[in-house]
Chain A
């Protein structure tokens, strides 16, 4: 199992702006999952991107994956106050079966009204 390293540690933007968060990891992966955690709440699954995919969209979210650089990014467009949360990237090398996810510190995103 390996941990993703999110960057920046904290990001503060104005409502309506786009937010980009980056993730790096060390060894080859099968997939990478992005999660959101509002303060004191549970982990909400956002997107899973597989190693053979380069980009994936879900609503206002866009995730990219560059396996040659061992990096991923999460873009939130037209940010809203409700997007204020911590965001985590979690890589996994498991193809099938149980996965031990290792969480990093995340990126703490603050959307200012």
Chain B
């Protein structure tokens, strides 16, 4: 079964450093998402992306965050200057023509 793949699975970064999380959505999917889950808390929506632009973003998704689909297959989340509170599991997800949204295994980010 096709799946969403994410890299890296784990990353430790210094506060203030830039981080790029990468995702390969399911082929032919149209809608792409990033969610995050701080340890012990709910899964939170960050951003949705369609037709090469952001369709919706949450309050969490401030100017420090950006998304890009650079080559038609990858979908990236960039955090420009990481803060301690950015430590979380980040999930990429994709959706085709139907309503089902498929999630990746996540990238665990630790900011120290």
Chain A interface residues toward B at CB < 8 A: 1, 30-31, 33, 35, 37, 40-45, 48, 88, 92, 94, 96-105
Contacts and interface: CB of A to CB of B under 8 A. Distances in A.
Contacts of A41: 105-106
Contacts, number: 61
Given A97-B31, A104-B42, A33 B48 contact: no
Interface of B: 31, 33, 35, 42-45, 48, 50, 55-56, 89, 91, 93, 95, 97-106, 108
A89 to B, nearest CB: 12
Nearest to B51: A98
Most chain B CB neighbours (cut-off 10 Å) among A43, A45, A94, A104: A43
Given A41-B106, A42-B91, A101 B50 contact: no
B61 to A, nearest CB: 12
Given A41-B105, A41-B106, A103-B43, A31 B99 contact: yes
